[in-house]
Chains A and B, each alone.
Chain A
Amino acid sequence: KAGVTQTPRYLIKTRGQQVTLSCSPISGHRSVSWYQQTPGQGLQFLFEYFSETQRNKGNFPGRFSGRQFSNSRSEMNVSTLELGDSALYLCASSEGQGEDYSNQPQHFGDGTRLSIL
C-alpha cells in the first residue's frame, strides 16, 4: 500500500503571499490531519478532516485553513504568510471511523518544507 503523499516537498514564498499544500492519504483512509513542526514549538496539531468536514481543530489563527475532497485528499492553505510560518508541514492519515477512532494510528507523510523570505 502506498503511504501518505505530500506535494510539493519544498516551497519558497515571500511574506504576504498565500500557499496551498496537498496531501493524498493512504488508500481507504478517510481522516486527514495536519501538523506544523518548527524548531521552537515542535510538532503542533492544526486540524483534522473526516468525510469532507473539519472534525477537530488546534489553536492556530484563521489564516490557516483546510479542506477535504470526496476522495479524501486534502489541501491546507495559509494566507498572508509571515516569517514565522516557515516550518515543516506534515499530513497524517488514519481510518478515522467508529466511535473510538483514537484507537487507530495516524500515519505521516514526509512533509512539505515551507520557507518564507
Chain B
Amino acid sequence: DAKTTQPTSMDCAEGRAANLPCNHSTISGNEYVYWYRQIHSQGPQYIIHGLKNNETNEMASLIITEDRKSSTLILPHATLRDTAVYYCIVRVSTIFFTGGGADGLTFGKGTHLIIQP
C-alpha cells in the first residue's frame, strides 16, 4: 500500500471548519483513501472514504485532488468532541489483490487535532 504523510498536530477553533491534509503522492489508481479517528481510550472510528470523487456524509467531507496525490478531510463545524488523532489510510482495492498477503488497514502516526474553545 502507498504511504501517507500527515502533519503531526493541528489546532482549530471550536465552531470553525477543520481541514486536515494528507499527502499520498505514490497512490495508485486502485487504492482507496480512508479516514479514521481515534479518541483516547477508544477504538478507531470510521469517518469517510473515497476513490476518485469527493465524498460527503453526516460527519465530514473528503476532497481528493484530481491527480489523487493528496486529500483533505473537512469537519465543517468542529466541536470539542472532535479532538482526536486522525488517520489517513490508503487501501488497495481487493479486486486487484493478488492474495496471500495482508489486506489490513495500515495506520501511520496520524494528526493530533486539538479543538480550542
Which A residues have a C-beta under 8 Å from some C-beta of B?
Answer: 4, 33, 35, 42-48, 55-59, 90, 92, 99-103, 105-111
Looking at chain B's contact residues, the main secondary structure is loop
Interface flag for B117 (CB, 8 Å):
no
Interfacial residues of chain B within 86-109, with CB under 8 A of chain A in the complex:
87, 91-95, 97, 101-109
Tell me the nearest residue of chain A to B109, going by C-beta.
A42
Contact A56 B43 (CB under 8 A): no
Q: Do residues B49 and A105 form an inter-chain contact, with CB atoms below 8 A?
A: yes
Instruction: Give the nearest-CB partner of B42 in chain A.
Output: A110
Is B45 an interface residue, CB under 8 A from the partner? yes
Whether A102 pairs with B93 at a CB distance below 8 angstroms is: yes
Return chain B residues, CB-CB under 8 Å to A109. 43
Is there an interface contact between B43 and A58, defined as CB atoms closer than 8 Å? no
CB pair B93–A106 under 8 Å, yes or no, is no
Bound complex: CA A75 to CA B9 (Å): 35
Using A103-B32, A103-B93 as known contacts, say yes or no to A111 and B43 having CB atoms under 8 A apart: yes
- B46–A107 touching, CB < 8 Å: yes
**Number of A-B pairs whose CB atoms are under 8 Å?**
69
A110 and B42 CA atoms in complex are apart in Å by: 5
- In the complex, what residues of B have CB within 8 A of residue A43's CB? 44, 87, 105, 107
A46 to B106, CA, bound (A): 11
Are B43 and A100 in contact, CB atoms less than 8 angstroms apart?
no
Q: Which residues of A contact B46 (CB under 8 A)?
A: 105-108
The 5 A-B pairs of least Cβ separation, nearest first, read A45-B104, A108-B43, A43-B107, A102-B94, A105-B46
Minimum distance in angstroms from A108 CB to a CB of chain B: 3
Residues of A within 8 A of B107 (CB): 42-44
Q: Chain B residues with Cβ under 8 A from A46's Cβ?
A: 104
17 A-B pairs (CB sep. < 8 Å): A4-B43, A33-B104, A42-B109, A43-B87, A43-B107, A44-B107, A47-B104, A56-B101, A92-B43, A102-B32, A102-B92, A102-B97, A102-B103, A105-B34, A106-B105, A107-B46, A108-B44
